Amino acid sequence: MSGPQLKHVGLNLTGSDELEPGEAALGLYGFWIFLMSDAVLFALLFAVYGTQLSATVGAPGPEAEFKLGSAFLETLILLTSSLTFGLSAIAMKYDRTRTGLVVWLCVTLALGLAFLGFEIHDFVAMFRDGATPDRSGFLSAFFALVPTHGLHVTAGCLWIAVMLVQIAVHGTDPRVKLDVLKLGLFWHFLDIVWIAIFSVVYLQGTLG
């Protein structure tokens, strides 16, 4: 008589999972380590940005270049994408047809691309105003921090596209479930980082 199987709560979705005992927990533990290393990277970028707030040397500053309305819209889009990803997880748990999972992942992907579109539009506007990274320490720090988050969102969008292909090919087998769970951790982590960017960079820059 076999002993109890170790299963992660997020993987016990519909029916039994076939992962070896501890395999899911080990995979998630490794991914948490990756996220913590990424958090250190963003912490360093925030620290550099904080030291360069006054280093404008005649170049455009945050009051002139930051568009709070646009940043707020981007925040709403990204937070909504976090909600839709959560709905995709619920669909994976209860919808055996996989339709809900695919639909909500597609909505999340569309929101992620919309976020990137608005962000790129803001960067283009800054470049047109001459607010380029080579103009000042402040702009260098800004373009080191915010586009790094954008690159992460781009990676997340590519990951969602890959997951849609995997779901089409393999269905929601245990490996796909584990990958979706990791992707969820990554996507929500990006939302947390963006909230910090919106608060520290945009709110402080326009209202401070």
CATH number of the domain enclosing 79? 1.20.120.80
Q: In this predicted structure, what is the pLDDT of residue 58?
A: 83
- Which residues form the domain of 102? 23-207
What is the CB neighbour count within 10 angstroms for residue 48?
A: 14
Task: Tell me, yes or no, whether 74 lies in a domain.
Answer: yes
Task: Please state the rounded mean pLDDT for residues 40-66.
Answer: 91
Q: Which residue from 140, 162, 152 is spatially nearest to 191, judged by alpha carbons?
A: 152
For residue 125, what are its two tokens? Answer: 């506007």
The tally of domains found in the chain comes to 1
Task: Tell me, yes or no, whether 63 lies in a domain.
Answer: yes
Q: Measure the CA–CA gap between 188 and 192, rounded to whole angstroms.
A: 6
In this predicted structure, the answer to whether residue 16 has a pLDDT above a threshold of 60 is no
In this predicted structure, the answer to whether residue 11 has a pLDDT above a threshold of 60 is no
Collapsing DSSP states into helix, strand and coil, what is residue 52?
coil
Q: Which long-range contacts (CB under 8 A, 24 or more apart) does 121-129 make?
A: 121/70, 122/67, 122/70, 122/71, 123/147, 125/67, 126/60, 126/65, 129/60, 129/64, 129/65
Q: What is the pLDDT of residues 114-152, one digit of tens each?
A: 999 999 999 999 999 999 999 999 999 999 999 999 999
Task: Tell me, yes or no, whether 1 lies in a domain.
Answer: no
Task: Tell me, yes or no, whether 27 lies in a domain.
Answer: yes
Task: Tell me, yes or no, whether 72 lies in a domain.
Answer: yes
DSSP string, 1-38: ---PPP--TTT--SS---PPTTHHHHHHHHHHHHHHHH
Task: Tell me, yes or no, whether 53 lies in a domain.
Answer: yes
Percentage of the chain surpassing pLDDT 90?
62
Task: Tell me, yes or no, whether 178 lies in a domain.
Answer: yes
Q: pTM higher than 0.85 for the full model?
A: yes
Task: Tell me, yes or no, whether 127 lies in a domain.
Answer: yes
Confidence band of 175 (pLDDT split at 50, 70, 90): confident
